[in-house]
Amino acid sequence: MIHRAILGSVERMLAILLEHYNGKWPLWLSPRQAIVCSVSSGSVEYAKQVLATLHEAGFHVDIDASDRTIQKKVREAQLAQFNYILVVGAQEAETGNICVRVRDNADLVTTSVDGFITRLREEIAAFK
C-alpha cells in the first residue's frame, strides 16, 4: 500500500517555520510584507498611490486609511507583524517620499518609493 500525506507535510513544514521564526516571517515568506498608514485624511490619496506602486512591483501591501491616530495605526501594524510600516503624510506627499519603519525597530527612515522597492528586492535576493 502506498500512502501519501501531502497536506500533512505542508502543515508540518508551516508549523516548523512558524516555530523557527516565532511568528515573524521573513520578507520573502510573509503574507504581510508592508502596510501603508496615512497620517490624516488629506494623505489618503498619496497612500493609495504608494499602495498601487508597490502592488505593481509584486509585493503584498495593505493600507490603513482609517480616521484613527497614527500611533494607533502603527501599534496595530506592529501587533499584526508587518515587516515594514510605511507612514505617509502631507510632507511625504509633497516630496514623493515615504517614512519606513522596520518591524522591530522604532527608527523612521525617509526614502523614495523606488528606493524602497529596490531595498525589498535586495532583501529577498539576499535570502536565497
Q: From 127, 117, 43, select the one nearest 84 (Cα to Cα).
A: 117
Determine the pLDDT at residue 106: 80
Determine the pLDDT at residue 1: 58
* Cα angle 108-31-14, degrees, rounded to a multiple of 5: 125
- How many CB atoms within 10 Å of residue 28? 14
Determine the pLDDT at residue 2: 60
CA distances from 73 to 21, 80, 87, 95, 121 (A): 24, 11, 10, 22, 26
Residue indicated by cell numbers 490619496: 45
Is position 14 within any domain? no
Is position 81 within any domain? yes
Is position 15 within any domain? no
Instruction: Compute the residue count for the chain.
Output: 128
Task: State the residue range of the domain holding 79.
Answer: 34-127
CATH of the domain at 108: 3.40.50.800
Determine the pLDDT at residue 127: 81
User: Which stretches of the chain score pLDDT less than 70?
Assistant: 1-7, 128
CA distances from 80 to 6, 9, 23 (A): 29, 26, 10
Is position 12 within any domain? no
Is position 18 within any domain? no
Determine the pLDDT at residue 128: 63
**Domains contained in the chain, number:** 1
Is position 80 within any domain? yes
CB 124 within 8 A of CB 61: no
This prediction has a pTM of 0.86
Determine the pLDDT at residue 107: 87
CA dihedral 61, 67, 72, 75 (to 10 degrees): 0
Is position 114 within any domain? yes
Is position 38 within any domain? yes
